[in-house]
Amino acid sequence: MVHDFWDTPVEFCKGVGPARSELLKKELNIFTIGDLLLHYPFRYIDKTVFYKVKDISENLHYIQVKGIIRNVTMAGIGKSMRLLASLADETGEVELVWFNSVKWLKDKIQPGQKYVVFGKPTSFNGKLNITHPEIEPLTEEYYKEEKRRFYPVYSSSEKLKSKGLDSKGISKIVLKALEDARGRIAENLASDLLNRLKLFSREEAIMGIHYPADQLVLNRATARLKFEELFFIQLRLVKTKFYRNKKIPGLVFQNVGKYLNDFYHNVLPYELTNAQKRVVREIRKDLGSGKQMNRLLQGDVGSGKTVVALMSMLIALDNGFQACIMAPTEILSAQHYNTLKGFCSQLDIDVKLLTGSTKSAARKKILESLLTGETRILLGTHALIEEVVKFQNLGLAVIDEQHRFGVAQRAKLWEKSDRPPHILVMTATPIPRTLAMTLYGDLDVSVIDELPPGRKPVKTLHFGDSNRLKVFAFLKEQIRQGRQVYIVYPLIHESETLDLKHLMEGYDAVVRDFPLPDYAVSMVHGQMKSKEKEYEMARFVKGETQIMVATTVIEVGVDVPNASVMVIENSERFGLSQLHQLRGRVGRGADQSYCLLMTSDKLTNDARLRIKAMLETSDGFRIAEMDLKLRGPGNIEGLEQSGITDLHLADLVADEKILKFARDEAFALLESDSELESPENAPVKEFILRENKRKGSWGMIS
Ligand code: ADP
Ligand code: MG
């Protein structure tokens, strides 16, 4: 019954009808009464208090004042014709100005009478006034309780406005719908939870968010609805996690054997940092636990994740299993290969590299040796998840730089083995905890929060384009000292050809200023054949070229310790996290490193904040938090599957506390009733089933 009401097509709502309902669908995606009720106000007008004239300032939002109207006069002619009046109370006078419907208003407003005026104070030529206020006679009604409340403001569109559905129009139909809704909005949380957390019922909350009597009601309504949004996302994630832990037996790696010991004692050329040791312990515990591991390893660029991945793989090998690392680019997987090949040959382990550009003869050999088990470790790009790639017994899959891989690709790795392999996901893109809980809420999280010793922090400097000569002179000095330099260009234009042109122009300019035979310049960009890319990259790694001109293809993972300067051209066009990633390419050797942020001389406010953040901190987590604050979560990859895009109210930055509550409650619920079978939890189950049906599968209850 209650659900029928929620799902009633919006045209059956009073005051809507066929024409308006078509528009509501097109413009606001509102198909049902339920959708309409989920179209929350984006702002409220506070009519609970009357301001005194003396307290008005231009910093205030919309305010309500009552007083006596004096001096109603017309001023100006033609287009600049306006109506002026002043409103006086016992504390002073404020001017009111109208530019529209001037004549009509002039007849309506009676000097000497009491009025209520409502509007936004502004300052004009140093004088306060209220432009286009709403004005109504001060009737007895204004002293009544129900008039003094918050009024909702809704987003609308030009087309909707033309059909009378401006904010006011929408509020009228919402109000009608709410009248009908009394007693018919289904609860979707268990009553025990509502009582314990003192939350509004769903009905109270929806009534309250549209027409809150006061701030308190609004706060409670908002809190309840935010909780609900976050709770159902968490429930799905936690459910996935529970399911894996309970239903999927993990491969048990009990032996810590020859490979790991040999590596640790005889091969590893440095001491692990404490953070690395801790994370290896966490992973070892997972691998021996009998549960399937799904762990996210976060560590800032250069924190040494690769060696942790290797040690985890060695545990798999010690237990008779194979392992693999999948990376997002050919350059990166080639680099893993170069790093690990050396270690593995000392341990007598066969390791192979498989990418899109592996020649078919070589590919055939690799595929064979994987099946026979001769190859123990496979590195590569997403070529690894192609169906033809079959392992003898894959025990652990590492995914490097996860933000480029979707959840679906993760799932494909599972299918590489009769029993799903353990999964270790590594990312150097630190994400704020709140976001991690939501994006990777189905994973356990480890953090490397310590850099290997001896690293000097990168010096970050900002230059406007007019300082280019100075910058080039600095680069020459660095190169004279034997250092190498990156110069990175952003993707600016819509079209790849234009971007390439932009990069080429930059390259030409660099070659002009850094000519042969004193200087050699490499270039790498996304549209080069991978052979060419590798060739150019290799020249730079070997020190044959001193300058690497590139697009962001070098963003992830590339490691050239002798490179000590990162120049980022048009850096105002990069997101904060991306800038931080790029900066992480330098500062890997013992020398002082520099990150030079080039920008045009004029900057938008936003760009200025990003540059400022880069100059102020090198802490990846702080940068990530700022990035999230500046850009909102909308730009973060992998969000579509996360449900974040369904959030109407909850804010991952501001609502960390509610998110934690929601996650804890989701755990507690599934702990006590994993299939949601108890009658107490029927509302939750019912809601999920209906949402599944509405959105296509949610995969929550199988
Ligand atoms: P990332 O976490 O960005 O993948 P890498 O694994 O590429 O970092 O490591 C960066 C550099 O630090 C590599 O050259 C690696 O050899 C070195 N490194 C890693 N761990 C240590 C350590 N504990 N002590 C000294 N150097 C280390
Ligand atoms: Mg790495």
Other Cβ atoms less than 10 A from the Cβ of 435: the count is: 23
Q: How confident is the model at residue 701 (pLDDT cuts 50, 70, 90)?
A: very low
Q: What is the 3-state secondary structure (H, E, C) of 342-401?
A: HHHHHHCCCEEEECCCCCHHHHHHHHHHHHHCCCCEEEECHHHHCCCCCCCCEEEEEEEC
pLDDT for 46 equals 84
- Cβ 82 vs Cβ 74: under 8 Å: yes
| Sheet bearing 547-550, strands edge to edge | 459-464, 594-599, 563-568, 484-488, 547-550, 521-524
Alpha carbon distance 362, 375 (integer Å): 13
pLDDT, tens digit, 9 for 90 and up, residues 44-56:
988 888 899 999 9
Q: Is 119 in the pocket of ligand 1 (CB under 6 A)?
A: no
3-state secondary structure of 89: strand
Q: What are phi and psi of 309, to 5 degrees?
A: -60, -45
Total length of the chain: 702
309 C-beta closer than 6 A to ligand 1 = no
Ligand 1 site, residue 643, Cβ cutoff 6 A: no
CA of 259 to the centre of ligand 2 (A): 22
Quick one: pLDDT at residue 200?
97
Q: Note the pLDDT tens digit of each residue in 617-669.
A: 888 878 888 887 777 665 555 555 556 666 788 887 788 889 989 999 999 99
What mean pLDDT is reported for the chain?
88
Report the percent of the chain where pLDDT is more than 70.
93
Ligand 1 and 332: CB distance under 6 A: no
pLDDT value at residue 699: 44
Ion ligand 2: residues, CB < 5 A: 557
Average pLDDT of span 161-182: 92
pLDDT-based confidence at 399, cuts 50/70/90?
A: very high
Per-range mean pLDDT, top range of 328-337, 407-416, 517-526, 556-565:
517-526
426, 309 in Cβ contact below 8 A?
A: yes
Q: Compute the radius of gyration of the chain from its Cα atoms.
A: 32
Question: 240 pLDDT band (50/70/90 cuts)?
Answer: confident
- pLDDT digit string, tens, across residues 193-219: 999 999 999 999 999 999 998 899 999
pLDDT of residue 693: 81
As to burial, measured by CB atoms within 10 angstroms (0-12 exposed, 13-18 middle, 19+ buried), residue 530 is middle
Look up residue 420 and give its two tokens: 């799903």
Q: What pLDDT is attached to residue 548? A: 94
| Kind and range of the H or E run holding 246 | helix 215-247
- CA 579, CA 61: separation in Å to the nearest integer? 37
The string of pLDDT tens digits covering residues 87-119 is 999 999 999 999 888 888 888 899 999 999 999
What is the value of pTM for the model shown? Answer: 0.70
306 lines ligand 1 (CB under 6 A): yes
Give the least confident one: 48-52, 75-79, 359-363.
75-79
Pocket test for ligand 1, best of 278, 296, 306, 399 (most atoms within 8 A of CB): 306
**Pairing assessment for the beta strands 594-599 and 563-568 based on DSSP bridges:** parallel
